[in-house]
Amino acid sequence: MKWSLRLGSLLGIPIYMHVTFLLLLAWIGVVHWTQEHSVRAVASGVGFILAIFLCVVLHELGHALTARRFGIKTRDITLLPIGGLARLERMPDEPVQELWVAVAGPAVNVVIAAALAAWLIAAEALEPLGGLGVAVGPFLQRLFVVNVLLVAFNMIPAFPMDGGRVLRAVLAMRLEYTKATHIASSVGQAFALLFGFAGLFVNPILIFIALFVWIGAAQEASMVQMKTALGGIPVGRAMLTEFHTLRPSDTLARAVELTLASSQKDFPVVEEARIVGVLVQGDVVAALSASGSATRVGDVMRRDYQVVDPSEMLETVFERLQQCACRTVPVLRHGQLIGLATMDNIGEFIAIKGALAKTGRSA
Ligand code: ZN
How far away, in angstroms, is 61 Cα from ligand 1 center? 9
User: How far is residue 140's CA from residue 147's CA, in Å, rounded to a whole number?
Assistant: 11
Cα 361 to Cα 46: distance, rounded to the nearest angstrom: 52
pLDDT range class, residue 104, cuts 50, 70, 90: very high
CA distances from 154 to 82, 84, 91, 164 (A): 12, 11, 18, 9
Contact (Cβ atoms closer than 8 angstroms) between residue 159 and residue 165: yes
Domain residue limits at 272: 235-358
pLDDT(318) > 50? yes
DSSP E strands in the chain: the ranges are 4-10, 13-18, 74-80, 83-88, 267-271, 274-279, 328-333, 336-342
Residues 258 and 276 in one domain: yes
How many A from CA of 165 to the centre of ligand 1? 9
The alpha carbon of residue 223 and the mean position of all alpha carbons in its chain are separated, in whole angstroms, by 13
Strand runs (DSSP E) across 81-157, as ranges? 83-88
Q: Summarize the confidence of residues 58-64 as an average pLDDT.
A: 92
pTM of the model: 0.59
**Residue 345 forms part of a structural domain:** yes
User: How far is ligand 1, taken at its centre, from the CA of residue 27, in Å?
Assistant: 25
Q: How far is the centre of ligand 1, averaged over its atoms, from the C-alpha of 63 (Å)?
A: 7
Among candidate residues 176, 206, 230, the one where a domain is terminated: 230
Residue type, 118: A
Split at pLDDT 50, 70, 90, the class of 10 is: confident
Express each pLDDT in 164-196 by its tens digit. Answer: 889 988 998 898 877 888 888 888 888 888 888
CATH number reported for the structural domain that contains residue 306 in this entry: 3.10.580.10
Number of CB atoms found within 10 A of residue 37's CB: 9
| Residues having C-beta closer than 5 Å to ion ligand 1 | 105, 162
- Please report which confidence band the pLDDT of residue 248 belongs to, taking 50, 70 and 90 as the band edges: very high
Instruction: Please say if the pLDDT value at position 219 is more than 70.
Output: no
Is 363 a member of any domain? no
Q: What is the mean pLDDT of residues 91-117?
A: 90
Identify the pLDDT of residue 222: 57
Please determine, for residue 363, whether its predicted confidence score (pLDDT) is greater than 50.
Answer: no
Beta strand 74-80 pairing with 13-18? parallel
- The DSSP call for residue 185 is H
Which residue type occupies 235? V
Domain finish residue from 189, 213, 230: 230
Task: Give residue 237 CA to ligand 1 midpoint distance, Å.
Answer: 26
pLDDT at 243 over 70: yes
Average pLDDT, whole number, for the chain? 82
Tell whether the model's pLDDT for residue 103 goes beyond 50. yes
Q: How many separate domains does the chain show? A: 2
Residue 214's pLDDT is what? 74
Q: Is the pLDDT of residue 107 over 60?
A: yes
Q: By percentage, how much of the chain surpasses pLDDT 70?
A: 86
How remote is the CA of residue 132 from the centroid of ligand 1, in Å? Answer: 24
Shared domain check, 252 and 226: no
Catalytic machinery residues: 60
